[in-house]
A and B are shown apart, each in its own frame.
Chain A
Amino acid sequence: MKKYLALLLALAMVFALAACANNGGNSTPSEAPSEAPVETPSEAPSEAPVETPSEAPAENPAEGATAAFKLGGTGPLTGPAAIYGTAARNGAQIAVDEINALGGIQFELNYQDDTHDAEKAVTAYNTLKDWGMQLSLGSVTSKPCEATAAKNFEDRIFALTPSASSTAVTEGKDNVFQMCFMDPNQGSASAQYIFDQGLASKVAVIWKNDDVYSKGIRDTFVSKAAELGLEVVSETTFADGNDSDFNVQLTEAKNAGADLVFLPMYYTPASLILSQADTMGYAPKWFGVDGMDGILTLEGFDTALAEGVMLLTPFNADAEDAKTQAFVEKYQAQYGEVPNQFAADAYDCVYAYAQALEAAGATPDMSAADLCDAMIAQFTSMTFDGLTGESMTWGADGAVTKAPKGMVIQDGAYVGM
């Protein structure tokens, strides 16, 4: 009996060790070994060097490690929302490499995994704080970012989140800013877009009632739709643990005669909705939000199901401008896929930081709190041109102003509408 037990323990140890090895220089001694497999980025080891903080100084030996701004962020590098976290990390890394190569302002990037979980995000945030983070990229997704933004506010570390869009992220915090649209803006912009383009008169909404992101968008969508005279004929919900069967929701939308279904949710449930509607023979117009981004890169997903799905997103990988094309090309070369909006948002975040730091004349030896004040002054006054919009500005509440682009999926790729 003892033999088996010993064998089991040995096995567990091997697992934990293998996991730590994968984690490269990033794993902290404070992590319990049992937690290691959860937090390990499960990507191929070839990506591991990207995360290693020591890379930037190695490339620029003249600068030395102390001359770089320490930029930290958390995101789901594993877990059901991993596509967003890895995309944001990759996008930010490209921007950091580009900026560092110019020789001016230097960044050191450190992304920690939060598995789209608020508690893990706080742990990841504390790891970054111990590492000496001066500027933060917040968290990639809304729920964790609400937790880390509170810490950012408490610790006076400035945060610019690429994609956490809920209002609670920035509410009441003077030093937390967003690169993406706030949820209410997404909801009302979507309703406005559907109305302006005359896409539908009867709309159904399926939303996730235990997710702030989904609820925030749905609330403003419904009130804007009422204002415009768009008729919401069916409104149904789902929640964690109840998110595999959508037949009832779809039947209800179908019976109510909805000719467009609005899906304010992430891509995983959306992929199930699309395939179940297909089985039912229900083919309305589909309208998604930025969480829909990523559906095309799902392994094994039949992209024909997503044909004609529309979504509002600020970034279009097919855009003709040189900046976008250069970014897409670089991203494809390094990571083997077309970047989504999250990658572009994170890329913009790093460039916005570079512009603000330059304008403020900030130096890496400044404390996080001093940098925080300088950044607040810069972000509320500057105008920034990035991949996800021209002449973006920020209000004192941390929300960004930029124009959304309508996109539609055609032949398995996003095309501007």
Chain B
Amino acid sequence: MTFLSYLIQGISLGSIYAIIALGYTMVYGIAKMLNFAHGDVIMVGGYMCFFATSGLRDRFADGSVAQAVIPNLAGLLLAMFVCTLLGITIERLAYKPLRQAPSLAVLITAIGVSYFLQNGAQVLWSSNPKICSSIIGKGVLSLGQLSISHVILLTVVVCVVIMLALTWFTGNTRMGKAMRACSEDKAAAQLMGINVNATISMTFAIGSALAAIAGVLFTSAYPTLQPTTGALPGIKAFTAAVFGGIGSIPGAMLGGILLGVIETFAKGYISTQVSDAIVFAVLIVILLVKPAGLLGKQVAEKV
């Protein structure tokens, strides 16, 4: 029973990592850059949802269906809208000028953007933590002694849906094919008549919208929201993406969930003190055995 409840907790935590990792891996897969600001876009999404829900909730009668649905829906939509705009703006201002620059410069810029967003949030919204309310209430599904909160069920479902949708999108649509072409060879894609800049902007727009969804779900599951909220889950999710094979969409989901499960088991059965060390030791072992990650493709470089 303890095993099962740890497993469920691990999957819960992992599904949150997975949903963040999906955004990371998608941007990396197409634009071939690590967008370290991804975690902070999540934080912005959380704040947008918080403001929309707390601002609108009082306008509806207590306990009515409208109160349960409209503020939360508005919060999600506002978060997605603002984050998409933010993602496109960041790409346009910070990354586009560096398209031809060495990847190290882009990496450092991404870290800079991350700090800019954190400090900007601190100036705008103060650093005092805010407690978000869950977008689908506090319900719990009980199965005997086991309990799973509705937020987690929703997160797992959303995660699977996003993974399938992204896989379909990149595989079957014109835009998706353009994205894959860009990821393989930007110059060749341009020669084939693909608008590389528009494609990369689109990638950031989708990645940021995913970050908004992740932000809303993250703050629903772990309600304390502050300007640094996104930073550490972002790093963990990045780890998950590498674990699963960065650039691979199903890999991000698998990596996220495995990371959550390993972390929870390490905490529960070994020690809460060294759980992170164990998680990263597992990561090192996996990368030694499979350098491209669990589902990553080994691409032979032609010289």
A contact set with B: CB distance below 8 Å: 1, 4-5, 7-8, 15, 18-19, 37-38, 40, 42-43, 78-80, 82-83, 115, 209, 236-242, 244-245, 247-249, 251-252, 255, 268-269, 271-272, 275, 278-281, 298-302
Contact = CB atoms under 8 A, between A and B. Distances in A.
A96 B276 CA distance: 47
A37 B118 CA distance: 10
A302 B131 contact: yes
Nearest to B228: A80
Interface stretch (B30-38, B120-128, B248-256): B120-128
Which of A8, A240, A241, A248 gathers the greatest number of chain B CB atoms within 10 Å?
A248
B272 A248 contact: yes
Contacts of B94: 8
B127 A42 contact: yes
Interface in B204-234: 222-224, 226, 228, 232-233
A300 B50 contact: yes
B203 interface: no
Given A78-B126, A300-B132, A249 B222 contact: no
B9 interface: yes
Nearest to A250: B9
B235 A241 contact: yes
A15 B123 contact: yes
B106 interface: no
A279 B148 CA distance: 9
B171 interface: no
A63 to B, nearest CB: 35
Contacts of A79: 122, 127
B8 to A, nearest CB: 9
8 contacts: A1-B97, A4-B96, A7-B93, A15-B123, A80-B129, A241-B235, A271-B224, A281-B140
B131 A300 contact: yes
4 closest A-B pairs by beta carbon, nearest first, are: A300-B131, A42-B126, A244-B222, A248-B267
B79 to A, nearest CB: 16
Nearest to A267: B129
Nearest to A206: B272
Nearest to B229: A244
A209 B273 contact: yes
Interface of B: 2, 5-6, 9, 12-13, 50, 54, 92-94, 96-97, 119-120, 122-123, 125-133, 138, 140, 147, 149, 222-224, 226, 228, 232-233, 235-236, 264, 267-268, 272-273, 275-276
A280 to B, nearest CB: 6
Nearest to B236: A241
B12 A298 contact: no
Given A37-B120, A242-B275, 13 more contacts: A1-B96, A8-B94, A80-B127, A82-B128, A237-B273, A247-B13, A248-B267, A248-B272, A281-B140, A299-B128, A299-B130, A299-B131, A300-B132
A8 B93 contact: yes
A268 B224 contact: yes
Contact of A249 (B122, B127, B267): B267
Contacts of A298: 128-131
Contacts of A252: 268
A237 B6 CA distance: 16
A238 B264 CA distance: 12
Contacts of A299: 128-131
B97 A242 contact: no
Nearest to B225: A300
Contacts of A280: 147
Contacts of A38: 119, 122
A277 to B, nearest CB: 12
A255 B5 CA distance: 11
A296 to B, nearest CB: 11
Nearest to B123: A37
B127 A272 contact: no
Contacts of A248: 6, 9, 264, 267-268, 272
Given A4-B92, A4-B93, A241-B235, A300 B130 contact: yes
Nearest to A248: B267
Nearest to B142: A281
A298 B223 CA distance: 12
Contacts of B233: 244
Which of B6, B125, B233, B268 gathers the greatest number of chain A CB atoms within 10 Å?
B268
A251 B273 contact: no
Contacts of B147: 279-281
